[in-house]
Structure 1
C-alpha cells in the first residue's frame, strides 16, 4: 500500500464513488436502491457548497485505479463530520482505512475543530473496530429501517 496516493476528491470522482456505494452495499449489505441516491445527494451538496478552508474529501488511488474515499465536512463551528469512508474489497485489511482515517482526522484537527462525529450502522463491524481503536466512542445506537433493511444505527464521536 506504499504506492497508494491520497488525492483530493474532484467532480470527476463523483460517479465512480456513487457506483461503488450502490454496488458494494447492495452486494455486501443487501441495501436497496435508495442508498445510491443518498450518496449522490451527499456528493452533489459537497460539490456545490463545500468550503475548502474547513471541508475536504479524498480518494485513494493505486496508479489509475481508485480504491476508496473519506470526507471531512463541517457539522458546526466546533465539530467536523466524517462521511463516506469506503474501501473497495481488494484494498481492505491493508492499512488503507487507517491512512484515510488519519488523513481526515488530521485535517479536522489542523482546521481547529474540537472533535468529530460520524454516523454508521452496527453491521459495519470492521469500520467500528477501526474507529474504536483510534479513540472514537459509540455514543448512540438505535434500531432503524433504512435502505430496505432492519439495522442498528450508530453515532460515534471523538474529541481532540
Structure 2
C-alpha cells in the first residue's frame, strides 16, 4: 500500500460512504437497507449543517483510493460524537484505525470538547477493542432488533 493521507470530505465521498457501509455491514452483520438509510441521514445532516469550527470529517486514501473515514460531530458545547468510523477490509490491521481515532480525538480536544461519545454494536469486536485500548468506556449496552437483525447496541464515551 502506498502512503495513506487524510483529507476532508469531498464531492462523491458521501455516496461512497453510504454504499460501503451498506455493503460491508450487510456482508459482515446481516444488516438490511435501513442501515444504509441511517448512514445517508447522518451524512445529509452533516453536509447540510456542519460547523467547520467544531465538526470535521476525515477520509483516508492511498493512491487515489478511499480506504476509510471518521467524523467528529458536535453534540453540545462540551461533547463531540464520533461518527461513521469505517475501514475497508484491505486497510485493516495496518494501524490506520489507530491513526484515524487518534487524529479525531486530538482534534476534538483541541476544539475544547471535554468528552466524546459514540454509538456502536457489540459485534464490532475490532473497533471495540480499539476504543478500549484508547481509554473509552462502555456507558450502556442494550439488546435490540435493528437493521433487520438482533444486535447489542452500545454507547461508549471518553473524557478528553
TM-score, normalising length: structure 2 = 0.98
- How far 1:91 sits from its partner (Å)? 0.3
Aligned-partner SS, 2:54: coil
Structure 1 unaligned regions, length at least 5: none
* Distance in structure 2 (CA, Å) of the matches to 1:12 and 1:106: 26
* Distance in structure 2 (CA, Å) of the matches to 1:125 and 1:27: 15
Query: What do the CA deviations read for 1:81-127 (whole angstroms, capped 9, x no partner)?
Result: 00000000000111000010011101100100001000000000110
Q: For residue 52 of structure 1, what is the aligned residue in structure 2?
A: 52
Q: For residue 107 of structure 2, what is the aligned residue in structure 1?
A: 107
Aligned-partner SS, 1:123: coil
* Distance in structure 1 (CA, Å) of the matches to 2:11 and 2:62: 19
Q: Is the 8 A contact 2:2 2:63 kept in 1?
A: no
* Distance in structure 2 (CA, Å) of the matches to 1:10 and 1:139: 33
Q: Is the 8 A contact 2:115 2:158 kept in 1?
A: yes
Aligned-partner SS, 1:11: coil
Q: For residue 68 of structure 1, what is the aligned residue in structure 2?
A: 68
* Distance in structure 1 (CA, Å) of the matches to 2:9 and 2:101: 15
TM-score, normalising length: structure 1 = 0.98
- How far 1:2 sits from its partner (Å)? 6.9
Q: For residue 121 of structure 2, what is the aligned residue in structure 1?
A: 121
Q: Is the 8 A contact 1:68 1:88 kept in 2?
A: yes
* Distance in structure 2 (CA, Å) of the matches to 1:9 and 1:26: 24
* Distance in structure 1 (CA, Å) of the matches to 2:138 and 2:94: 24
Q: Is the 8 A contact 2:2 2:62 kept in 1?
A: no
The list of structure 1 runs, each at least 4 consecutive aligned residues, that deviate by more than 6 angstroms after superposition, is: none
* Distance in structure 2 (CA, Å) of the matches to 1:159 and 1:60: 25
* Distance in structure 1 (CA, Å) of the matches to 2:69 and 2:109: 19
Q: For residue 33 of structure 2, what is the aligned residue in structure 1?
A: 33
Q: For residue 24 of structure 2, what is the aligned residue in structure 1?
A: 24
RMSD: 1.0
* Distance in structure 2 (CA, Å) of the matches to 1:93 and 1:79: 29
- How far 1:12 sits from its partner (Å)? 2.2
